[in-house]
Amino acid sequence: MAPFFNAIFTNMKIKIAVLPGDGIGPEITRQAIKVIDAVSKKTGHVPEYREAPVGAAAIDETGNPYPEQTHNICMESDAVLFGAIGDPRFDNDPGAKVRPEKGLLEMRKKLGLFANIRPVMTFVPLLHKSPLREEIIEGADFIVVRELTGGIYFGKPQGRSEDGNTAYDTCVYQKYEIERICRLAFGFAMKRRKKLTLVDKANVLATSRLWRETMQALALSYPGVEVEYMFVDNAAMQIIQWPKRFDVIVTENMFGDILTDEASVITGSLGMLPSASIGLHTSVFEPIHGSYPQAAGKNIANPVATVLSAAMMFEQAFDCEEGGRLIRSAVDASLESGVVTGDIDDSDPASTSEVGDWLASWIENI
């Protein structure tokens, strides 16, 4: 077989912080590392891994869901490969003083990760797995650019009254936060189909009106991009009814969180979608799914979302388009060959590690 491409770099060192986290996190990150190693041999990269705890695993070890040592390792790395955060022990304890998810928020804040990039695409062999009709989803391909460090998740004040009968969260946005995420979204739109949708709730929320005003001013600098404005409830409906009409969506933190989980059903499995969180310091690459504690240690979880996150890592952190293309081709080949986990095909499922081994072997032998 002819070589897939010729390596143009030689011994290019890349430092990767590995944060496996909780639940299936350790299993899926192991498979991504297999693939990263295989790709690196083709591209001339030399990966150096440093593992660090985060989430419930870090609480058990240090009492802190995002320890300072973990943060330092992230800051000293070129990219972060992240697994998942979450543990039922904390989910079922409303009075817990510290939660694993706090570690994720702290990581985003300390690393300045103001943008989460979530591509939503379909895979032809999986069209039948989606709860939506094939003619609705076939060819759907859009990106959600979600603001990640502002909004109701971080706004102050936040808490409960002394009598416990009242709780409050505050949604806060500053204009500069909106401008930087919208400029990033315009950049993606310029490289794609030149259509950008701002999702907000400007008929009700003051913060959304600031988003809309800011976007309208910025749009004057991007005359080649078609900009539309859509309320979040309408967007939630249209993503399901007409997903192919979208190209790039930009939105605030909580709306983006909800809409991207909704959009994941288009693909047919939550285990297929990657993401990248980028900003001021080291970028983080992670699957969009959670820790799936019911599957932890059973070698049944789908590692593809994490593997595709590694593809985004090569493209965005290491400026290696060929590495990303090679990983995507390997995933396509595995789907066509039926080497998939039970969430894709439960008739003869491969294990988590078998999928990782197959992907790495395909890359090594291409």
DSSP string, 93-115: -TT-SS-HHHHHHHHHHHHT--E
Q: Which amino acid is at 60?
A: D
pLDDT confidence of residue 91: 78
Residue among 336, 239, 261 at smallest CA distance from 305: 261
Domain boundary residue among 221, 240, 267?
Answer: 267
Q: Six-digit token pair at 204?
A: 């009700």
Q: Domain for residue 277, yes or no?
A: no
Q: Domain for residue 8, yes or no?
A: yes
pLDDT confidence of residue 6: 45
In this structure, the answer to whether residues 44 and 102 fall within a common structural domain is yes
In this structure, the answer to whether residues 259 and 136 fall within a common structural domain is yes
In this structure, the answer to whether residues 101 and 163 fall within a common structural domain is no
In this structure, the answer to whether residues 139 and 82 fall within a common structural domain is no
User: DSSP letters of 11-27?
Assistant: SEEEEEEEEEESTTHHH
Which sequence positions are flagged as catalytic? Answer: 153, 201, 233, 257, 261
Q: Domain for residue 275, yes or no?
A: no
Which residues of the chain are under the pLDDT cut of 50? 1-9
Residues 99-139 pLDDT 10s: 999 999 899 999 999 999 999 999 988 898 889 999 999 99
**Nearest-5° Cα angle at 142, 220 to 155:** 70
Kindly state the helix (H) or strand (E) to which residue 284 belongs, with its residue range. Answer: strand 284-287
**CATH number reported for the structural domain that contains residue 186 in this entry:** 3.40.718.10
C-beta of residue 130 within 8 angstroms of C-beta of residue 267: yes
In this structure, the answer to whether residues 51 and 171 fall within a common structural domain is no
Residue 106 is part of which domain span? Answer: 1-112+286-366
Q: Domain for residue 122, yes or no?
A: no
In this structure, the answer to whether residues 62 and 187 fall within a common structural domain is no
Residues 42-98 pLDDT 10s: 999 999 999 999 999 999 999 999 999 999 999 999 999 999 999 998 877 777 788
In this structure, the answer to whether residues 145 and 246 fall within a common structural domain is yes
Considering the entire predicted model, what is its pTM? 0.88
Q: Which residues, listed in sequence order, are joined to residue 48 by a DSSP beta bridge?
A: 15
Give one word for 219, left, alpha or beta, with left for phi > 0 and alpha for psi -120 to 50.
alpha
In this structure, the answer to whether residues 216 and 257 fall within a common structural domain is yes
Domain boundary residue among 267, 301, 326?
Answer: 267
In this structure, the answer to whether residues 77 and 5 fall within a common structural domain is yes
Q: Domain for residue 240, yes or no?
A: yes
Q: How many domains does the chain have?
A: 2
Q: Domain for residue 71, yes or no?
A: yes
Q: Domain for residue 195, yes or no?
A: yes
Domain boundary residue among 267, 296, 327?
Answer: 267
In this structure, the answer to whether residues 28 and 108 fall within a common structural domain is yes
pLDDT confidence of residue 2: 40
Q: Domain for residue 278, yes or no?
A: no
C-beta of residue 47 within 8 angstroms of C-beta of residue 80: no
pLDDT confidence of residue 10: 59
3-state secondary structure 192-216: CCCEEEEEECCCCCHHHHHHHHHHH
In this structure, the answer to whether residues 80 and 138 fall within a common structural domain is no
pLDDT confidence of residue 11: 76
In this structure, the answer to whether residues 136 and 248 fall within a common structural domain is yes
